[in-house]
């Protein structure tokens, strides 16, 4: 049977693309090599990590904060296998949801590894050496990404783990060693610290979360250190010896020098992710990759080969589920003859630690290096009424606006619910709003969002509660 579109991969990029294509009347199929739909995000990424972040946060709150509000409990006890069950139920519910949506939208699903046999032909290995060839007008590559590995360090997913193993440890490690102070290291490091691990993070660079606004990153590091996470910056892991009962980790200065040996029970390698195109037949099909092995596409998600498109983690840009989804929608609309676009300048980024960290648009460092004249408005949560009563006063909102036009160029928030607060300013940026527009918008009282309004007022040096 011939399709209009075959999407390879059912992560947030692929499944959303397929559903939108079907909504637009295109005959659509997906190909998925794994047992369940939903890709990295639903199975071993966003969803399970947020389940554990939520549960471990409440565990810590119950132990440390409830009595301050007059809620007396005996010390909470951890039932890790029940917490893992809770996580898995969240995953299963989401994964089943994708299956339901495929059926509802009449998207055909082929289970097996997909390979591009030629433009217009996808070969699916359905097991036991059998293959099935599907014909299609267009192919969308949505094969996502995989864990980046350190040369010479084997990930066994038991003691030396990637994020996947760190989401299903059967016991709280006494000492958790994290390689990489990026999003995964800090989110999953936070989970296990809250559940009782001593956490130490080694980072190659001289700062945490590269790419994030520097002032926010410094504040974030101080908060995490106060929570008990240790950092070794400008350092690298030379080797991990897993022969004995405890791991022996050899750490040396990033610039080279004397190595030190540290001991840990579990090591989490979280040094980034790499595009996944293994066995897809891209070289044979003539699809070009860039120097980071990402599929090269134009602004309409077209590769250099007629009829082959790509979206999500496998192409350039931030490796985020919502970026993949929006690209999936845009690609489907383009295939249906519409004008699908994604504004890559207004993609929010959230780290779901406590407090959360969220940003959209340019950092102060980027504006400086681009020579853009800007003004800064900042407002601390210590001066926000709702944060005061909730005792969530850590952090601040920072708005960067163009010096002449007042247009919002970037917003960076560290504080409770930052991931929700960022939505308002992302919308503002989509509409080309000025800081004055945000400042003149009525914000409900008492809410944390008033800190966003005050930061916008602060751009013009007229915050009220400071
Ligand atoms: P993927 O989700 O990786 O899906 C690709 C799919 O393609 C997979 O199902 C794979 O099996 C399939 N596939 C690959 N090759 C083939 C083939 N040849 N044939 C058939 N099928 C194939 N992002 C956020 O925005 N928010 C978060 O909170 C967040 N948390 C994360 C936490 C962790 C621990 C990790 C690892 C990632 C997290 N991410 C988060 C990133 C997010 O998961 C990815 O950006 C997102 O999943 C990318 O979507 P995708 O559709 O491009 O690819
Ligand atoms: P990352 O790119 O966020 O961070 C990797 C860190 O490791 C960087 O700070 C880097 O400098 C450091 N590093 C690299 N090599 C190193 C080495 N040899 N020794 C020590 N440090 C080293 O990658 P991470 O955390 O693995 O996450 C992968 C992707 O998953 C992210 O890019 C993100 O887009 C996505 N993700 C998103 C989440 C969210 O949106 N909340 C949550 C988790 C993941």
| Mean pLDDT, residues 162-177 | 98
pLDDT at 128: 84
Specify which residues 200 forms β-bridges with: 177, 230
| Mean pLDDT, residues 231-244 | 96
Residues with CB under 6 A from ligand 2: 150, 179-185, 187, 202-205, 210, 236-237, 270-273, 318-320, 350-352
pLDDT at 127: 85
Specify which residues 30 forms β-bridges with: 7, 109
Residue of 7, 14, 20, 45 to mutate, ligand 1, most atoms within 8 A of C-beta = 45
pLDDT at 399: 99
Percent of the chain with pLDDT over 90: 98
Phi, psi for 354 (deg, rounded to 5): -125, 115
Three-state SS at 10: coil
322-340 per-position pLDDT tens digit: 999 999 999 999 999 999 9
pLDDT at 114: 98
401 neighbors 407 (Cβ within 8 angstroms): yes
pLDDT at residue 117 tops 90: yes
Give dist(CA 177, CA 435) in Å, integer. 42
Measured torsion, CA atoms of residues 23, 27, 32, 36, in degrees rounded to the nearest 10: 40
Q: Are strands 198-202 and 230-232 parallel, antiparallel or unpaired?
A: parallel
What is the distance in angstroms between the CA of the first residue and the CA of the last residue of the chain? 66
pLDDT at residue 170 tops 90: yes
Residue 431: Cβ within 10 Å count: 9
Average pLDDT value over all residues in the chain: 97
Least distant ligand from the CA of 48: 1
Residue of 31, 36, 39 to mutate, ligand 1, most atoms within 8 A of C-beta = 39
Three-state SS at 298: coil
Q: Sort 393 into a burial class: Cβ within 10 Å, 0-12 / 13-18 / 19+.
A: middle
Give dist(CA 25, CA 17) in Å, integer. 13
| Mean pLDDT, residues 78-86 | 98
Residues with CB under 6 A from ligand 1: 8-14, 31-34, 39-41, 45-46, 49-50, 113-114, 142-145, 163, 184, 276, 279-280, 312-313, 319-322, 324, 352
pLDDT at residue 72 tops 80: yes
Closest CA relative to residue 226, chosen from 388, 394, 350: 394
Closest ligand 2 atom number to CA of residue 236: 19
Residue 164 DSSP one-character state: H
Q: 172 C-alpha vs ligand 1 centroid, how far in Å?
A: 26
383-431 per-position pLDDT tens digit: 999 999 999 999 999 999 999 999 999 999 999 999 999 999 999 999 9
pLDDT at residue 1 tops 90: no
Q: 305 C-alpha vs ligand 2 centroid, how far in Å?
A: 31
| Mean pLDDT, residues 184-197 | 98
Contacts 24+ apart (CB under 8 A), 402-405: 402/372, 402/373, 402/374, 402/375, 403/373, 403/374, 403/375, 404/373, 405/434
The DSSP element (H or E) to which 362 belongs, if any, is none
363 neighbors 410 (Cβ within 8 angstroms): yes
In the structure, what pLDDT confidence band is assigned to residue 34 with cuts at 50, 70 and 90?
A: very high
Atom 35 in ligand 2: residue holding the nearest Cα: 319
Note if 445 is an active site residue. yes
Q: 387 C-alpha vs ligand 2 centroid, how far in Å?
A: 30
Tokens 């080797």, located at residue: 239
| Mean pLDDT, residues 194-217 | 98
Q: Residue 63 — left, alpha, or beta (φ > 0 → left; ψ -120 to 50 → alpha)?
A: alpha
Q: 162 C-alpha vs ligand 2 centroid, how far in Å?
A: 11
Tokens 């980790």, located at residue: 249
Give dist(CA 345, CA 339) in Å, integer. 18
Q: 150 C-alpha vs ligand 1 centroid, how far in Å?
A: 20
Least distant ligand from the CA of 112: 1
Q: Sort 281 into a burial class: Cβ within 10 Å, 0-12 / 13-18 / 19+.
A: middle
Closest CA relative to residue 408, chosen from 464, 463, 452: 452
257-279 per-position pLDDT tens digit: 999 999 999 999 999 999 999 99
Here the tokens at position 353 are 């630690």
Point out the catalytic residue in the list 57, 412, 445, 465. 445
Three-state SS at 67: helix
261 neighbors 235 (Cβ within 8 angstroms): no
Residue of 53, 183, 267 to mutate, ligand 2, most atoms within 8 A of C-beta = 183
Q: 177 C-alpha vs ligand 2 centroid, how far in Å?
A: 15
Least distant ligand from the CA of 209: 2
| Mean pLDDT, residues 67-92 | 96
284-310 per-position pLDDT tens digit: 999 999 999 999 999 999 999 999 999
| Mean pLDDT, residues 57-68 | 96
């Amino acid at each position: 049977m011939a399709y209009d579109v075959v999407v390879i991969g059912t992560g947030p990029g692929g499944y959303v693309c397929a559903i939108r294509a079907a909504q637009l009347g295109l005959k659509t199929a997906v190909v998925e090599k794994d047992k369940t739909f939903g890709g990295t995000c639903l199975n071993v990424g966003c969803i399970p990590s947020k389940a554990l972040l939520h549960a471990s946060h409440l565990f810590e709150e119950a132990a440390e904060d409830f009595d301050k509000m007059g809620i007396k409990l005996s010390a909470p006890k951890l039932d890790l296998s029940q917490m893992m069950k809770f996580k898995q139920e969240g995953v299963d519910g989401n994964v089943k949801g994708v299956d339901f949506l495929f059926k509802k939208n009449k998207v055909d699903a082929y289970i097996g590894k997909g390979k591009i046999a030629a433009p217009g032909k996808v070969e699916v290995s359905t097991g036991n050496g059998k293959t099935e060839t599907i014909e299609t007008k267009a192919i969308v590559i949505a094969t996502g990404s995989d864990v980046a590995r350190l040369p010479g360090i084997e990930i066994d997913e038991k003691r030396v783990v990637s994020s996947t193993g760190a989401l299903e440890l059967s016991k709280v490690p006494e000492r958790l060693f994290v390689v990489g102070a990026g999003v995964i290291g800090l989110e999953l490091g936070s989970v296990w610290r809250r559940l009782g691990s001593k956490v130490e993070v080694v980072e190659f660079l001289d700062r945490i979360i590269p790419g994030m606004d520097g002032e926010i990153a410094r504040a974030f590091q101080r908060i995490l250190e106060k929570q008990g996470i240790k950092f070794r910056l400008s350092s690298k892991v030379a080797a991990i010896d897993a022969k004995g009962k405890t791991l022996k980790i050899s750490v040396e200065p990033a610039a080279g020098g004397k190595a030190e040996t540290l001991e840990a029970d579990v090591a989490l390698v979280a040094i980034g992710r790499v595009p996944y195109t293994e066995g897809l037949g891209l070289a044979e099909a003539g699809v070009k990759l860039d120097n980071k092995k990402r599929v090269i596409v134009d602004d309409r998600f077209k590769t250099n080969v007629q009829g082959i498109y790509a979206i999500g983690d496998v192409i350039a840009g931030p490796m985020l589920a919502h970026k993949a989804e929006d690209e999936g929608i845009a690609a489907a609309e383009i295939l249906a003859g519409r004008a699908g676009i994604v504004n890559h300048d207004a993609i929010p980024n959230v780290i779901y630690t406590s407090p959360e960290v969220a940003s959209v648009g340019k950092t102060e460092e980027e504006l400086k290096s681009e020579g853009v004249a800007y003004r800064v408005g900042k407002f601390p949560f210590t001066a926000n009424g709702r944060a005061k009563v909730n005792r969530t006063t850590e952090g601040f909102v920072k708005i960067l606006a163009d010096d002449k036009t007042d247009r919002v160029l970037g917003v960076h928030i560290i504080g409770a619910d930052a991931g929700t607060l960022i939505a308002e300013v992302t919308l503002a940026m989509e509409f080309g709003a000025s800081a004055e527009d945000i400042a003149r918008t009525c914000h409900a009282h008492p809410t944390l969002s008033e800190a966003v309004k005050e930061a916008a007022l602060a751009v013009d040096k007229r915050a009220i509660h400071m």
